[in-house]
Structures are given as structure tokens and as C-alpha cells.
Amino acid sequence: MAEAPMISVRGISKCFKLYRSPWARVVEWGSFGRATTHRPFWAVRDVSFEVNRGECMGVIGPNGSGKSTMLKILTGAMHATEGDVEIRGRVLSLLELGTGMNQKMTGRENIFNAARLLNFPPGFARERIDEIEEFASIGQFFDRPIAFYSSGMRVRLAFSMFACFRPEVFIVDEALSVGDVRFQQKCAERIRELLDEGTTMLFVSHDTGAVVNLCTQAMVLEEGRATFHGRPEEAVNRYFAAMRVADANLKKKKPKWTERQEREIASSDEPEAAGILRHDVIGDKEREGRHGGGRLQVEAARILDGSGNDTLRTRMSGVLEIQVLVRAVEAVARPRVGLHVVNRFNERIYAASNYQLGHVLPDLDAGERLVVTFHLTMDVAPEPHTLTIETSVPVPGDVNAGLLQDQIGGVGPIGIESRRDELREYYGAARLPMTVAHTRLAETAETT
């Protein structure tokens, strides 16, 4: 007989009452149910799922989608308005790393105190204290009051404590988004160990790369509802698509640049230019941070996959075709158009223009437009990346300098996927050219 799920959630919903003012609340209370002065707000609506032993389910979604509310219901910090939750085994949760600790106690004392509050048997924490101290790696601060800890030290202590307690069900909210890189790596490694040992996990994060690499299933929450539940890779794709739709709906009134674009699409005699304008991925051209001299402007950009389909995702080492439509406001000699690939830490992973690539663009007269097409192999880490598109003109006497004319950042994001069942060809932020060879050495005879 199959083992029952460790986590079983059936149709949970949570409704809050929103009042226009404190006085409206008093009026409703004083009416003994005869007057209704609130409006209902459903933070979570009809969510169901199951997680088996040794599985990790990721939950992703934009801010305000109901993730934290759902976790509070699962941990018992909040009651559901509708639905049922059944969790088998001992549950430990890290909804906010480092909260609930006594500021006057040392790190060591807080661990013993937490074990006692969680009803662990006597001696449980003492058996694991050395492991926790080693994992946290905070040195002499382990025996100092946590009031003197930095936020990073508190994170280390909290995660180390709960991970080393080895719960049957572990609920974590954004554990890998805090601390330094090495600590994040240790957290990911420990999570994998816990899963191998049979721990069941619910992992909430905005780090889509971690969701793909750690989770066996994933759910996308939008406005309190589960809009997708299935493979982590597909969940991340749905999440990115939802974010694009949300960005597009931010402004109900069409800005002037959109109206101008629609006129240009209707009047364009060039199918390629019309296609770029129609499938533009840049969005708001008046976005914050756009700058440059203005002589050569970026009008639109389109991203296609290898089959010619519009996309905002690809596999690791997948090739994207990026079409950029530029317009010369004034006559421009030897124009340059380039791309930057930027990771989630806002670090520029790669940047080059047609100039670095050895491709010469024609001089442009005022009002003339040009389509520049790049084929970019995304040899980067499996996490969201954005593009920065820029134009420039040469600086006399300096072959490595360009006078910036237009720069638009934050194009995307582009999701980079990695399948758990396929060999990754590289690790790290990006692939670098590398070859390998070997020489087999002959055995040396022993002498006496």
C-alpha cells in the first residue's frame, strides 16, 4: 500500500475583511451582523496540492500573490477560512530567518531554548550542537548575545539550527536569498542531503534557478490562486510569462510611444520592421534609466528562438535571435549597436557590439532606420537574465571608446532553463572556452 502524502492541502482559502476606516469596523461590530461595512479580500483561493516523502515542492509568484499567507496557514500561524491541511510528522518552518530568538541569549543558548520550545527530548540539541556550530561558521560569536550579530550571522544561526535538527517536514521561505554566496551553497547542499534522507520540503523563493535545481514539483501563485502546478521548469516559464503580462498591464492608458508605434506599424512598408514593432519586448520606452546623446535611438526589439518563435526563455547554451530596430535622429557615421547580458545581481556577464564582432554598419541619414540582428548563445547560468540594448558612435583616437547615444536596460527577463535529467555542460556564471588533453606517463621501474 502506497504511503500517504506528508503534506496534503485540500481547497484552502483565506479571506480578510477590509474596512474603509477604523470607524467602519466599529459600526459593523456594533450592528451585531445587521450592517456590513467591509469588503472581502481573498488572499488565498482554493489551493490544493500534495507532497510525498522526500519531495520538494517550490512555490513561486509575484509579491502579493498569497505565498506567505499560504505558508502561515500550513504552519498553523493562521487559520484557513475554507479547506483542510494535513501534515504528517514533525514540522519545522523558517518563514523569516532569525525571528523568534532571544536577543539577550547567546547563539548556543538560543539553540537549546529553541529545542525546548519545540518539545524535542532532553539532550537532543546537545547531541547536535557541534554540528550546528560548525555549519554556522560564525566563530566566537556563537557564544555571544545575538543582539551583537549582523543580519548575516542571524541567518547562518537560524538555518544551521533547523537544518541540523533534521525535521520530517521542512518549510522554508527565501532561505537561499540571504547570506553570502558560500553560505547559500552550503544551504543548497544541506537541502539536498535532507531530501535524500527523506525530509519533505516546501520551498518558497523568487530564486527560480534554485527552484529548478532543488524542487521535484512547483506551483505558480497569482492573486491567491494556483495558476500552474507541475514540472519546475514549466512553472518558471509560466511565472516569467505572468510577469510579462503584469508589466504590460501596469499602464491602462497607452503612452505616446505606443500610439506612435501603432501608426508606424500600419504605415510601414518593411515587413521586418513591422514585425519587430508588433512583437516589441522592450515595452515602456520612457522607462527610468534610459539615457544617451539621442542621435541614434532604439525603437524596438524582438527575441526569437531557433524555430523563429517569439520567446523569453531558452535552454542553457540555447541560441536566441535578437532583432533591434534603430532610427537615426541625425546623420550618423559608423553607428554601433550592442547588447549586454546582465544577471540577477545586476552584474554584466557579457557585452559586445557589432564593432567588437567585426561587422560594419552603414552610415545613416537623418530619419533612416536599420535592423541589426544578433545571434546570441546563452552560455550562462540557469537563472533569469536581462538584456541592455545600446547604441553609440566612435570616439576619435580611442578604438575602445564609444559615445553613448541610447541605452535601455532591463529588457526581459529571459529565463534560462536546465533539466535535472540532462548533463550540464558547465557550471558557474558563464561558459568560458576550455579544452582538455592528457598525457599518460610510463611506469618507472624500481631500482635496488
Assess if residue 282 is contained within a domain. Answer: yes
Assess if residue 287 is contained within a domain. Answer: yes
CB atoms within 10 A of CB 133: 19
The one-character DSSP state at 291 is: B
364-373 pLDDT, tens digit each: 999 999 999 9
The answer to whether 36 touches 109, Cβ cutoff 8 Å, is no
pLDDT for 47 equals 95
Same domain, 272 and 289: yes
* Dihedral sign of CA atoms 17, 57, 117, 107 in order: negative
pLDDT for 250 equals 45
Query: Has residue 33 got a pLDDT over 90?
Result: no
Same domain, 80 and 119: no
Assess if residue 242 is contained within a domain. Answer: yes
The amino acid at residue 231 is R
Same domain, 195 and 213: yes
SS3 state at 260? helix
Mean pLDDT, residues 74-98: 84
Query: Can you give the pTM of this predicted structure?
Result: 0.61
Q: Read off the C-alpha cell for 422.
A: 540532462
CB atoms within 10 A of CB 386: 16
Same domain, 130 and 177: no
Assess if residue 380 is contained within a domain. Answer: yes
pLDDT for 255 equals 45
Query: Has residue 267 got a pLDDT over 60?
Result: no
345-354 pLDDT, tens digit each: 788 999 999 9
d(CA 187, CA 176): 7
Same domain, 15 and 138: no
Query: Has residue 30 got a pLDDT over 90?
Result: no
- The residue range of the domain holding 131 is 100-161
Domain count for the chain, please give it: 3
- CATH code assigned at 224: 3.40.50.300
**Confidence category of residue 256, pLDDT binned at 50, 70, 90:** very low
Between 12-16, 77-81, 121-125, 418-422, the lowest mean confidence (pLDDT) is in 418-422
Domain boundary among 247, 263, 285: 247
Domain boundary among 219, 247, 275: 247
Between 50-54, 112-116, 335-339, the lowest mean confidence (pLDDT) is in 112-116
Q: Which of 285, 290, 296, 410 is nearest to 342 (CA)?
A: 410
Greater confidence (95 vs 151) lies with 151
The verdict on whether omega for the bond into residue 362 sits within 30 degrees of 0, i.e. cis, is no
Greater confidence (140 vs 64) lies with 140
Assess if residue 440 is contained within a domain. Answer: no
- Phi, psi for residue 339 in degrees, rounded to 5: -130, 145
SS3 state at 101? coil
Query: Has residue 179 got a pLDDT over 70?
Result: no
Same domain, 19 and 56: yes
- CATH code assigned at 282: 2.70.50.60
Same domain, 85 and 198: yes
Domain boundary among 220, 247, 274: 247
Q: Which residue has the cell 517569439?
A: 310
Same domain, 148 and 14: no
Query: Has residue 207 got a pLDDT over 80?
Result: no
Assess if residue 448 is contained within a domain. Answer: no
Same domain, 261 and 395: yes
The answer to whether 232 touches 218, Cβ cutoff 8 Å, is yes
Mean of pLDDT over the chain: 85
Query: Has residue 445 got a pLDDT over 80?
Result: no
The answer to whether 43 touches 224, Cβ cutoff 8 Å, is yes
**Confidence category of residue 246, pLDDT binned at 50, 70, 90:** low
Greater confidence (295 vs 30) lies with 295
Q: Read off the C-alpha cell for 151.
A: 543580519
Same domain, 78 and 219: yes
pLDDT for 398 equals 87
Mean pLDDT, residues 257-263: 49
Assess if residue 433 is contained within a domain. Answer: no
Query: Has residue 274 got a pLDDT over 90?
Result: no
| Sheet of strand 319-328: strand arrangement | 296-304, 319-328, 369-377
Same domain, 180 and 200: yes
Same domain, 188 and 293: no
Assess if residue 81 is contained within a domain. Answer: yes
Mean pLDDT, residues 252-276: 57
